[in-house]
Amino acid sequence: MLRVTHVNEEEAPTPRPALADGAKPPQGPPAPDDDARTKQPLRTHLRKPFGTTWLRFLTILLTVWIALGVSLAGGNELSADYDLSTAHGLVAGFSLGLTLVLALWRPTEAWALNLSAAAVIALIARPHLIETPPPGPNWPWSTPAVLAHATALLLLALRVRTRNAVSALTATALVTFLLQGVIGGQRYSGTGTTAVAVFAVAVLVGTALRGRKEARTQLVEQETLTASERAQRTLLEERSRIARELHDVVAHHMSVISIQAQVAPHLVENPSEELKENLEGIRQNALDALTELRRVLGVLRSEHPDAPDVFDPTGTDAGATAAPHAPQPTLDRLEALVDNIRGAGLEVTLDITGRRRPLTPGVELSAYRIVQEALSNVLRHAPGATARVSVAYEPRAVSLRVVNSAPQRPAPPSHGAGHGLLGMRERASMLGGSLSAYPAREGGYVVSAYLPAHSRIEGIAYVPIPHAPNPPHPDKDGTA
């Protein structure tokens, strides 16, 4: 529905400005335009040593359970197989199990202590192997010792480099074969080869899991870098667009001032030298302002603002990226914009209050762009919603307000970088105004802007150039 209402300026209600200087907008969910910044994939949390909090807790709980089982089962088995007292068996079992708990925080030290404990237990049990009838107990690695050391190597491989994990496995194998092959014993079931094979599998699994985690971390870092580059590119595009519009509006007025100052002496009979000097000073100041403006525009368009500017003193902008001088939209074209948006499937209501009057080009353009961006955000982020655009002409300002209802269905994923609101705020701030964006209580969204009618960068009115004989061409005077 399209409804345009015109009322007298005296009867028009005066909307409140968007936000006073220094005030904060109402708190609430993030703006639709900022969704890209607030959405974080789950895999970003997997960069912690043990993943998310619950996964870390599960890892600790499982390790403690294995350590307790190794301690109790190991104590009983060592007491039975190696003829140790119950107390000595439990001490030996807990010496193997407690190192696993230490491996959660200090895996290298835990592996070394576990290997040392297993070697000491094997040496203590060796004299008993002589008196044991065949086939004898498992030696030099008992079943609990194999489980404990494999767990220690797995935790070690998860936390250290592959080279260090392989070095630890090699040291374990050397100690194992030294005990079984060199020191040896009688009447026992050799477990050295089987134990080393189990240890190798544990190291292989731990190394593979660690490599997968590192690859995932690198992928997340690459995605973050890509998102940052995309955001930077979007920001540069917005700055370039603002620079182009600033070039078309402000540079035009400065060019007119320069031309009028040069033409003015030809319109006066016998102008005094003082008048000529003053007009030449006005013209020179206008040219200097154009020079500085081009430098500012170069910074806005440049990907590297610190790079030196290349200025063409002829004023033709040779070698620079020329900004196309396209007709700039104004508030008079809001009805056409609303019709276009309605054609895209969004139901829009337009209310205009106050006495309509032409504003400065910068205000007209920024007001139009703010409404356009706000309606575009509704199309992107609020499918099925309705929108209401309110434009209020005040004596010294124009107020804009775009309100949309709650979306009727989920919005499709957005590929933007979330700089629409930033661009709108930059436009309002550039004109000395303000802009606020916040969620509505009914579930929709509100964008409100307050733009002074005469901005601080546009105080020059356009004055037609009177006809003069042979006026100089703008391109020859460095004006654009």
**pLDDT tens column, 370-386:** 998 899 888 888 888 99
Lowest mean pLDDT among 181-190, 232-241, 320-329: 320-329
**81-85, 434-438, 450-454: which is most confident:** 434-438
132 pLDDT band, cuts 50/70/90, is: low
* pLDDT for residue 350: 95
- Contact between 67 and 94 under an 8 Å Cβ cutoff? The reply is no
Other CB atoms within a 10 A radius of the CB of residue 440 amount to 14
Token pair 């260090």 is found at 164
Q: Of 8-12, 65-69, 93-97, 446-450, which gets the smallest average pLDDT?
A: 8-12
pLDDT digits (tens, 9 = 90+) for 200-222: 999 999 999 999 988 888 888 88
Is the pLDDT at 250 greater than 70, yes or no? yes
% of the chain at pLDDT higher than 90 = 21
Better pLDDT: 116 or 259: 116
Would the pLDDT of 36 be above 80?
no
Report the candidate in 145, 15, 7, 4 with the shortest Cα–Cα distance to residue 434: 15
Quote the pLDDT of residue 174.
93
| Residue 197 in tokens | 């094979």
Q: What is the pTM of this model?
A: 0.40
What whole-number distance in Å separates Cα of residue 421 and Cα of residue 32? 9
pLDDT above 70: percentage of residues in the chain: 68
Residue with tokens 């005066």: 14
Question: Which CATH number fits the domain 32-36+328-452, given the four candidates 3.30.565.10, 3.90.1200.10, 3.60.70.12, 3.40.190.10?
Answer: 3.30.565.10
Give 170's contacts (C-beta < 8 A, 6+ positions apart).
none
Question: Contact, 203 vs 169, CB < 8 A?
Answer: yes
Q: Is the confidence at residue 434, as pLDDT, over 80? A: yes
Centroid of chain to Cα 77: 57
The pLDDT score that the predictor gives to residue 392 is 96
pLDDT averaged over every residue in the chain: 74
- What confidence score (pLDDT) does residue 418 get? 55
Instruction: Flag whether pLDDT at 480 surpasses 50.
Output: no
pLDDT tens readout for residues 383-422 = 889 999 999 999 999 999 999 999 988 876 654 445 678 8
Say yes or no to pLDDT of 459 above 50: no
Taking a C-beta distance cutoff of 8 angstroms, is the pair 96, 75 a contact? no
Specify the pLDDT at position 27: 43
Average pLDDT over every residue of 116-143 = 74
Mean pLDDT of the 190-197 span: 88
The predicted pLDDT at position 130 comes to: 60
At residue 395, the 3 state secondary structure works out as coil
Report residue 449 as tokens: 């802007």
Top pLDDT among 358 and 33 is at: 358
Of 37-51, 134-148, 338-352, minimum mean pLDDT range: 37-51
- pLDDT at position 406 is 92
**So what's the pLDDT on residue 45?**
37
Q: Is the per-residue pLDDT at 7 higher than 70?
A: no
